[in-house]
Each structure stands twice: as structure tokens, then as C-alpha cells.
Amino acid sequence: MAFAPLDPILHNQLRLAIMSLLVAVEEGDFTFLLEKTGATRGNLSVQITKLKEAGYIHVQKTFKENYPNTVCRISPKGLKAFETYVKAIKDYLKN
């Protein structure tokens, strides 16, 4: 049986974790993602940029209590990619 290819953007632990969090919440800021994923600031920043470049998330730079704050939100393209990825994983596990 042929399986759907896995999306290389999502098949990375940290990027998958970011996307899973953003699927569950409407939007999350950098500190929230940092706290929940346990990643380093540098790595998280790099992976957020990759997801943004892929068009999977929208990133908005704002200010929170006079400090820069990055707010991330999943895009429709990202949501579709995530659903496809989960389906592919489930199909694999079923067979």
C-alpha cells in the first residue's frame, strides 16, 4: 500500500510541537511557545521563521508591557497541512 509522503516542514519535533499548540489555541505568543515546548529561544525563533516562510503561520510583532512580543497564529494553509500530516501518520500506524 502506498502512503502519502510526509510534509518535511512538519516532520520535525519542534515545528510539529509549535503547530500542535497553535492548532489548539487561536494564537500564542513567543513566551507561551517557549514555555510549552521547552525549546531554546534561538531554536524556537529559527523554527518559527521556517513555519512562517512556508506560509503555515502568521507572525505579528507587537509590544507587551513595553517589550517586543511575537504573536503566532496558524494559517489556513498551515491547518490544512497539519491535518494532512496527522492523516498520513494515522494511515501509517493503521497499516
Q: CA 48, 53, 80: angle at the middle one, nearest 5?
A: 85
Between the CA of residue 86 and those of 18, 31, 55, 81, what are the distances in Å?
Answer: 14, 26, 18, 9
52 vs 88, beta carbon nearer other proteins: 88
- Site for other proteins, residues 8 to 47, rule: CB under 8 A: 8, 11-13, 16-17, 20-21, 23-29, 31-33, 35-37
Q: Comparing C-alpha atoms, which of 21, 29, 15 is closest to residue 60?
A: 29
4 vs 59, beta carbon nearer other proteins: 4
Q: How far apart are CA 85 and CA 78, in angstroms?
A: 10
Minimum distance from residue 56 beta carbon to other proteins (Å): 15
Tell me the three state secondary structure of residue 11. coil
- Site for other proteins, residues 53 to 92, rule: CB under 8 A: 64-65, 85-86, 88-90, 92
Binding footprint of other proteins on the chain (CB under 8 A) = 1-6, 8, 11-13, 16-17, 20-21, 23-29, 31-33, 35-37, 64-65, 85-86, 88-90, 92-93
